[in-house]
Chain A
Amino acid sequence: MTQPADIDAAMRPELNPMFLFRWEDTQDSYVLLYPEGVVKLNPTAGEILKRCTGEATLAEVIEELKGLFVGPPGTVEQGVRKFLEVSHAKGWIRYRA
C-alpha cells in the first residue's frame, strides 16, 4: 500500500472503486456512498474529489484547484494535500504511479 510519505506530485489520485462519488440533488452536495455508509461532502471536499480521476497528476489537481480556491500563497496546496492525506487514510482514494 502506498504511504503518504511516498506520494510525489507526479502520482495520480483516484477514488477507491469501493466508493461511489456523485452529486446528489436532494442533499445539494456531493456525496460518497460505501457499504453501510453515506458521507455528505462540503463544497471544497467535493471539488477536490471530483478531480481524483486517476488521470490527472497530483500536481495538475493542485494547479487546477489554485484557480478555483482563493487564499494566501501556499495555503491552497497545503489544504488540498492535507485533505487528500485524510482521504487516503480513510480509504476513499488511492494513488496510481
Chain B
Amino acid sequence: MPKDGSVIALDGQGRPLWLVLEVTYRCPLKCVWCNNPLDFDRYSELTTEEWKGVLRQARALGSLQLGFSGGEPMLRDDVEELVEYATSLGYYTNLITSGVGLTPVRLHTLKRVGLKQIQLSLQSADRALTNELVGAKAHDLKMETAYRIKALGFPMVLNVPVVRQNIDQVERILKTAEEIGVDYLEFANIQYYNWALLNREELLPSREQILHAEAAVNEARARLGNRMTIYFVIPDYYEGRPKACMNGWGTIHLTIAPDGAALPCQEVRVIQGLEFPTVREKPLAWIWNESPLFRKFRGDDWMKEPCRGCSEKAKDFGGCRCQAFLLTGDAANCDPACSRSPHHDVIRQAIAAACDKARIRHPLIPRRAGAVAAALQEE
C-alpha cells in the first residue's frame, strides 16, 4: 500500500492532542464500576467562561480531539454553548454520554452548533440487566436516544462496559448495534479502579467468557467488513502484559476535571501524594509543559526495575500508574498486570478469588454517597 499519512507521533515531546473536559462529576446513574471520585460534591465546577478559557488555551497547545465527558455532561445546561465555541476554534467535538438528559431538542441543537460525534453507553441488550447495572431505569431511554442520534446523521460510537454480568450477551449486543446502525462498537472491558475495584470479585469475567466473547467479535468482524468497526480489548488482568496506558503519562492526553484540575488521565486522583494544579491558578501551557505533576512519570527516567531494563518499556510505558499505586502502594512500580512485575501475584489472586465457584457472593455496590459504609454495615 502506498504511504498515505501517519498517526501523529506519540513521542512524549508532543502536544495534548486529546483533551477531555469532565464538565461535571454529577450523574443520575449509579454504575457499579464508576470511576468518579466518591466525594464529588466538594468539587466546585468551572463556569462557562472558565471552560471557554480552557478551550482557547488547549487549542493554542495543539489539542485537536475534544471529548465532553463527566459524570453526565448533559446535566450542564451550557454543553451546547461550549460545543459551538469549541467548533469555532477548530476542535473535533465528541460527546460522551449515558443518554440521560440528551433530549430531542438538545440533540437537534447540538447538531446545529457543530457537534461531530456521539459516544453513547449501553450496558446490555436487555432492559432488566442494563437497569440493574446502572441503578436506574435507563435502558429504554438509551435505546430511543441511540436511534435518534443515528436519525440525525451523527457518527456514533456505542460503548459497552464489559463485565461478568453482560459478557455472555456479546452476540445480542452486536445484533442490537447492527440494528441501530452504529459506526463504531466498543466493548470496553472495565478497568478496576474506584467502584469497579470495590466490586471486582463480582465483576471480573472468567478467561473462558473472554475467549468466547472474542470469538463472537471476530465472527462479526468477518461478516460486517467495514460497515461497523468493532473494538474489543482483552482486559489487562488476563493479558500478562500491561496496557500502554494513555500512550504514556503526559504525552497526548489532557483531562480537565470539573473543578479545573488538570490531569494526565481521568483516574489519576486515586494516586495519593500528588498535587493537581488547576486552571484557576495556573496557565495551561505551564501545567502541561512544566508542572511537577505532568513531568512526574513523563518519559522513562522515573522507572524502576523491571521496567527500566525492559525491552518493552517504549511500547507499554510500564503500564498504568494508577493501577500500580492501587495494587502495590507505589505509583512508580511496574503495573502488576505485567507478568514481569514482582507483584503480579495480586492479579493472579484477584482472578482466582473472582473465579472461585465456592466464594461468598456479595451484592454489587452501586455508586452513591454512603454506599460503602452501608454495605459494610450489612455484612
User: Hey, which bits of chain A sit against chain B, CB under 8 A?
Assistant: 17-18, 20, 22, 24, 26-27, 31-42, 45, 79, 82-83, 86-87, 89-91
Q: Quick one: given A18-B155, A27-B62, A33-B92, are A38 and B8 in contact (CB under 8 Å)?
A: yes
On whether the beta carbons of B15 and A40 are closer than 8 Å, the reply is: no
Q: Which residues of B contact A32 (CB under 8 A)?
A: 5
On whether the beta carbons of B5 and A35 are closer than 8 Å, the reply is: no
Chain B's closest residue to A31 (CB) is B64
Q: Does B222 contact A (CB under 8 A)?
A: no
Q: Could you list 7 further interchain pairs (A-B, Cβ under 8 angstroms) beyond the known A35-B157, A39-B8, A83-B4? A: A20-B92, A35-B116, A36-B65, A86-B1, A86-B2, A86-B4, A91-B226
Interface residue range, chain B: 20 to 34
On whether the beta carbons of B6 and A35 are closer than 8 Å, the reply is: no
On whether the beta carbons of A39 and B5 are closer than 8 Å, the reply is: yes
Q: Does B98 contact A (CB under 8 A)?
A: no
A79 to B3, CA, bound (A): 10
On whether the beta carbons of A18 and B183 are closer than 8 Å, the reply is: yes
Q: Name 7 A/B residue pairs within 8 A (Cβ), A-sorted.
A: A27-B62, A31-B64, A33-B116, A34-B117, A40-B7, A42-B6, A86-B4
Chain B's closest residue to A45 (CB) is B5
Q: Does B94 contact A (CB under 8 A)?
A: yes
Within 107-128 of B, Cβ neighbours of A (below 8 Å) are at: 116-117, 119
Q: Which residues of A contact B153 (CB under 8 A)?
A: 17
Q: Does B184 contact A (CB under 8 A)?
A: yes
Q: How far is the CB of B159 from chain A (nearest CB, A)?
A: 10
On whether the beta carbons of B2 and A82 are closer than 8 Å, the reply is: yes
Q: How far is the CB of B313 from chain A (nearest CB, A)?
A: 24
Report which residue of B4, B8, B116, B183 has the largest number of chain A beta carbons within 10 angstroms of its beta carbon: B4
On whether the beta carbons of A35 and B184 are closer than 8 Å, the reply is: yes
A26 to B8, CA, bound (A): 12
A24 to B8, CA, bound (A): 12
Query: 10 nearest interchain CB pairs?
Result: A26-B62, A33-B92, A41-B5, A18-B155, A35-B117, A40-B8, A45-B5, A39-B5, A82-B2, A35-B155
A36 to B69, CA, bound (A): 14
Q: Does B261 contact A (CB under 8 A)?
A: no
A87 to B65, CA, bound (A): 21
Q: Does B53 contact A (CB under 8 A)?
A: no
